[in-house]
């Protein structure tokens, strides 16, 4: 009988074990499920933190890019303004230079006309001096100075004496 008792006891122990296993399996699955859910929540939280940090970096980078673009835009405006100012200065200098060139050409023409007049007056003086008859008293007396001092092209001065013309 002892074998029957041991067999019954073994059967009972196996039944209890199976019952415990049946109860433990859902509990183990539930524990595994809870552990996986907790791990997933932690991963999601870590991912969310990383995503927020990444988005913060993106926003900071965008703000820096916008700030740099504004600095470049301001520098470009300043450079364009300076360029315009320099172009205006060059245009003014060109206009002044053109005016000076025209004035120089006008002076050259005036000088040529003056040189021609001087030659004409010198030849007139030479002809009047040779044809002028002066009285003997005028030859000994100095001719009156009427103050017409004229510089010749070679730099020497010549007094133009109108006394001969009127005597």
pLDDT in tens, the chain (167 residues): 788 888 888 888 888 888 877 777 778 888 888 999 999 999 999 999 999 999 999 999 999 999 999 999 999 999 999 999 999 999 999 999 999 999 999 999 999 999 999 999 999 998 988 876 555 554 555 555 554 555 555 555 544 444 444 44
Alpha-carbon span 155 to 118, nearest angstrom: 13
> Do 126 and 146 belong to one domain?
no
pLDDT at 52: 96
> Do 69 and 151 belong to one domain?
no
> Do 29 and 82 belong to one domain?
yes
pLDDT at 132: 66
Alpha-carbon span 156 to 153, nearest angstrom: 8
Q: Looking at the 3D structure of the chain, how many domains does it have?
A: 2
Per this entry, what is the length of the chain? Answer: 167
Domain, as residue range, for 110: 2-131
Alpha-carbon span 141 to 31, nearest angstrom: 149
> Do 18 and 73 belong to one domain?
yes
156 touches 122 (CB < 8 A): no
> Do 124 and 166 belong to one domain?
no
């Amino acid at each position: 009988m002892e074998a029957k008792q041991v067999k019954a006891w073994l059967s009972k122990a196996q039944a209890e074990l199976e019952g415990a296993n049946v109860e433990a399996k859902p509990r183990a699955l539930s524990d595994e499920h809870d552990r996986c859910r907790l791990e997933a929540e932690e991963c999601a939280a870590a991912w969310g933190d990383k995503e927020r940090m990444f988005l913060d970096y993106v926003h900071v980078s965008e703000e820096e890019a916008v700030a740099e673009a504004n600095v470049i835009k301001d520098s470009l405006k300043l450079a364009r303004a300076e360029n315009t100012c320099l172009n205006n200065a060059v245009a003014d200098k060109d206009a002044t230079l053109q005016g000076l060139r025209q004035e120089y050409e006008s002076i050259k023409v005036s000088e040529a006309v003056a040189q021609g007049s001087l030659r004409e007056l010198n030849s007139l003086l030479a002809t009047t001096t040779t044809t002028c008859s002066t009285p003997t008293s005028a030859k000994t007396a100095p001719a009156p100075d009427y103050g017409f001092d004229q510089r010749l092209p070679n730099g020497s001065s010549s007094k133009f004496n109108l006394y001969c013309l009127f005597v």
